[in-house]
Structure 1
Amino acid sequence: MSNFKGLSIADLPAPLAEALAWQPSGQGKRERTRRQLLLAAVQVFGAQGVPGATIQEIAAVAGMTTGTVYNHFDTKEAIVAALALWMTEALNARILQSLDGVAEGAQRTVIGHRRHVWLARESPRWALLLLEISASVPATAQYIAQFALADLRLGVEQKAFHLSSEAAALDLVMGLGSQAMLTAAQGKASADHDMDTAALLLRGLGMETDHAATVARKPLPDFPPLDALPRHPPVGSGALQLLQKA
């Protein structure tokens, strides 16, 4: 397994790599071991996908025994769920940090969308792994959707969005975001794919065409320095609890 060519944190864009590399102070040995196992799972899943991976391979990449893995995770599905929680929380929190000070719901929606497409363009294998794990653990999408929904409601309150159905609008945001990521990760997207799809998204949410194009093409805000990652409690649906129990 020493020649296993999987993924590593270093394959992410720097601001997101910082998020996954960041560790809370005071982590104990058990937490450090779990983290090492999750990093090994990233390598194995990134190389051959979730269905084809085995706990034995994850243990070998981590330099641990299979028994050590089972001391932390009962099944491969438990590893996938824990990895989904870690990646979803860390990467989503970092993207949300770049939204600090952005008061318009429409602009927040655009930034969230474009950052995910940017990730897919800059690190396609990470994006494909994220999409695969999200399909395996649907609660990850539910978790992200809570923040997307808050921005949608803000846009409605600010009269930027005009929705006939909130549920349909949320499906549009989440569905277009995932598909745009996939297109970019597969190398099929133009350099402006993030802005083009963002403009279409805003139009679908009721914004006038020219205004949508202007908002979609505003410069993305910089990521702030990373001192810590905020913890974002679930809003309403309990998706985080679902992730922790998966």
Structure 2
Amino acid sequence: MAAIRLFAEKGAAQLNVSDLAQEAGVARGTIYNNVENIDQLFQQVASQLSKEMHQRVNDSFAGLEDPAARLATGIRLFIRRAHEEPHWGAFLSRFALSDASLREMVYSQATADVLKGLSTGRYRFPQSHLASAISLIASATLGAMLLVREGIKTWRDAGSETAELVLCALGITVDEARRLASADLPPLPALD
């Protein structure tokens, strides 16, 4: 948790071993014994966060087959977690689009659900627009997380509004998008 907070506040290039040791309450030697360098630590943190969130979101989808409902739920879970864990949200906001591990976390499940929605006719846009659609989803979600972090919107409002707007952009009717974006949100299961 200390590394996430420090990376979010200072960035990868500005963080040093002394900062990390002080935040973690350990000696610098302990850090040197366990971390080859700050860049390696950043990659470990990003990779671990990506795997963990991907698994937790997948676990929350139990019994949820509709790709539009899955997408709305996923968007809202990311936004809620940014509210509940501000350092996680700040880390993701700062690095999600610039780090491959974090991009994978944001893009992978959304891509699968969008492709399924396209193949079943649930979404109405040309498949040639897929990369732009995924970018729209990721950018809108990260933007909503910022609104929550800055206190401009509650996580509930930002999550529902963002999910609704994204679904409409993909071709879901306004009424259905609103219904899906305001459905009860399942818990984000902890990892075993």
TM (norm. structure 1) is 0.68
Amino acid corresponding to residue 175 of structure 2 in structure 1: D
Give the RMSD, CA atoms, in angstroms: 2.3
Corresponding residue for 2:145?
A: 181
Q: Name the counterpart of 2:74.
A: 112
Q: Distance in 2 between matches of 1:62 and 1:146?
A: 32
What is the rounded CA distance, in whole Å, between the counterparts of 1:105 and 1:209 in structure 2?
Answer: 16
Distance 2:191 2:172 in 1: 36
Amino acid at match of 1:148: A
Superposed CA offset, 1:207-238 (max 9, x none): 121121111111112345x562xxxxxxxxxx
SS at match of 2:186: coil
- The answer as to 2:65 corresponding to 1:132 is no
Please list every run of 5 or more consecutive structure 2 residues that lacks an aligned counterpart in the other structure: none
Equivalent residue, structure 2, for 1:222: 187
Aligned equivalent of 2:131: 167
| 2:158 alignment partner, one of 184, 188, 193 | 193
Q: Which residue of 2 aligns with 1:96?
A: 58
Identity level (%)? 26
Secondary structure of 1:153's counterpart equals helix
Matched, 1:146 2:108: yes
Q: Report how many aligned residue pairs link the two structures.
A: 189
The answer to which structure has the higher helix fraction is: 2
What secondary structure does 1:144 align onto? Answer: helix
1:127 Cα deviation (Å)? 0.7
Worse-matched range after superposition: 118-127 or 58-67: 58-67
Determine helix, strand or coil for the equivalent of 1:188: coil
Letter in 2 for 1:176: A
Q: Which residue does the alignment assign to 2:175?
A: 210
Helix, strand or coil for the counterpart of 1:192? Answer: helix
The 8 Å contact of residues 124 and 186 in structure 1, kept in 2 or not, is answered as no
Give the structure-2-normalised TM-score.
Answer: 0.85
In 1, the alpha carbon distance for the partners of 2:191 and 2:121 equals 35
Q: Displacement of 1:193 after TM fit?
A: 1.8
Higher mean C-alpha displacement, 163-172 vs 56-65 = 56-65
Shift, 1:139, TM fit: 3.2
Aligned counterparts of 1:171 and 1:227: Cα–Cα separation in 2: 28
Deviations 1:129-163 (A, max 9, x none): 22223355243113431111001111122321112
Gaps of 5+ in 1: 1-38, 229-246
